[in-house]
């Protein structure tokens, strides 16, 4: 039986981290444990000692209103890898899709986007984000 993380659903490799959050006991992977280990109200019940909190500071702001108290947690944005799209990316995607004999509908369902998004990418009207570009590259077996 494979243990899965109660937060992200990924299979847990290595030793799981067991935490208690507001009375609920959760089994977390190393990645999720790093995010939640220093949050107020989270108690680590069992886990490896190598789990360390993320280095990004977390700011908690308390807002009070007539309806009650609200807390807003803000984290600084992490720099995302910058990437460049080749000039003829629209043609490359269309040609690769057609060479595999796939319609736009089928490819859109496979990569999990609407057909209109894929059409706009193939027409050069939309530049795909990093995740979508990687998904297209994997599904269409594109060289980059």
Summarize pLDDT for 43-99 with one digit per residue, the tens.
Answer: 888 775 445 545 556 666 777 888 877 777 666 665 555 667 788 889 999 999 999
Contact yes or no for 53/34 (Cβ under 8 A): yes
Residues of 19-56 as b/e, b for ≥16 C-beta within 10 angstroms?
beeeeeebbbbbebbbbbbeeeebeeeebeeeeeeeee
pTM, whole model, 2 decimals? 0.44
Contact yes or no for 18/26 (Cβ under 8 A): yes
pLDDT value at residue 67: 80
Tokens standing for residue 108: 């859109």
pLDDT value at residue 78: 57
Summarize pLDDT for 107-136 with one digit per residue, the tens.
Answer: 999 889 999 999 999 999 998 888 888 888
Is the predicted pLDDT of residue 16 greater than 60, yes or no?
Answer: yes
Extended strands (E) in the chain: 17-21, 24-28, 42-46, 59-65, 68-74
The better pLDDT of the pair 82, 7 is held by: 7
């Amino acid at each position: 039986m494979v243990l899965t993380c109660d937060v992200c659903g990924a299979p847990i490799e290595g030793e799981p981290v067991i935490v208690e959050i507001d009375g609920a006991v959760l089994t977390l992977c190393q990645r999720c444990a790093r995010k939640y280990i220093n949050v107020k109200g989270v108690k680590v019940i069992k886990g490896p000692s190598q789990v360390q909190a993320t280095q990004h500071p977390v700011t908690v702001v308390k807002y009070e209103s007539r309806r009650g108290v609200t807390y807003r947690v803000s984290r600084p944005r992490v720099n995302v890898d910058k990437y460049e799209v080749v000039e003829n990316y629209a043609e490359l995607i269309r040609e690769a899709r057609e060479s595999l004999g796939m319609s736009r509908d089928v490819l859109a369902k496979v990569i999990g986007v609407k057909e209109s998004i894929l059409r706009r990418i193939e027409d050069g009207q939309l530049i795909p984000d990093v995740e979508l570009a990687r998904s297209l590259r994997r599904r269409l077996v594109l060289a980059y």
